[in-house]
Amino acid sequence: MDRSFDELEAIVRKRICSVCTERTTDGQCGLEIPSSCALFHLFPQVAQAIQSVNSNDIHQYIEAIRRNVCSVCREQAPDGSCETRQQVQCALDAYLLLVVDAVEEATGKTFDKTSIHNLPAGQAVSPNPQIRL
């Protein structure tokens, strides 16, 4: 199923912002600069990275995100590390499982969540993620 980036972004916003710990009680994004949210600042790259993968292995999605999104994100250091990710302050990383699920579902694919075991140490992806403030 083909969806425009705008349609996908609206679907992902509805799914992720509603559970994001940055969201305020009146339903707004609580970031000082809401447009700086890495998930939506780079949404076309996020959607393309997810759609480039056809797998039930979350590691392959993580690799695609690192390759296509983190590589052009201003938060990534030259050595590939990311302080924002380490601090669990990147909504894309913290909610990656939900983002993948939302995009794949919206485009007519399914993602088998049973593959989320044995993630690398420090990986923020979890069934019940929380962004740390």
* Given 48, 59, 75, 88, the residue binding ligand SF4 (CB under 6 A): 75
Contact status: 97 vs ligand SF4 (CB under 6 A):
no
Closer CB to ligand SF4, 81 or 112, in the complex: 81
Q: Facing residues of 23 across strands?
A: 29
Residue 105, interface with ligand SF4 (CB under 6 A)?
no
Residue 15, SS3 per DSSP:
helix
d(CA 126, CA 37): 19
Report phi then psi at 78, rounded to 5.
-55, -30
Burial-class residue 16 by CB neighbours within 10 Å (0-12, 13-18, 19+): buried
Q: Closer to ligand SF4 at the Cβ: 89 or 111?
A: 89
Binding-site member from 8, 17, 62, 125 for ligand SF4 (CB under 6 A):
17
Q: At 14, phi and psi to the nearest 5? A: -60, -40
Identify which of residues 55 and 86 has a Cβ nearer to ligand SF4 in the complex: 86
Which residues of this protein are in contact with ligand SF4, per CB under 6 A?
16-17, 20, 22-23, 29, 31, 34, 37-40, 69-70, 73, 75-76, 82, 84-85, 90-93
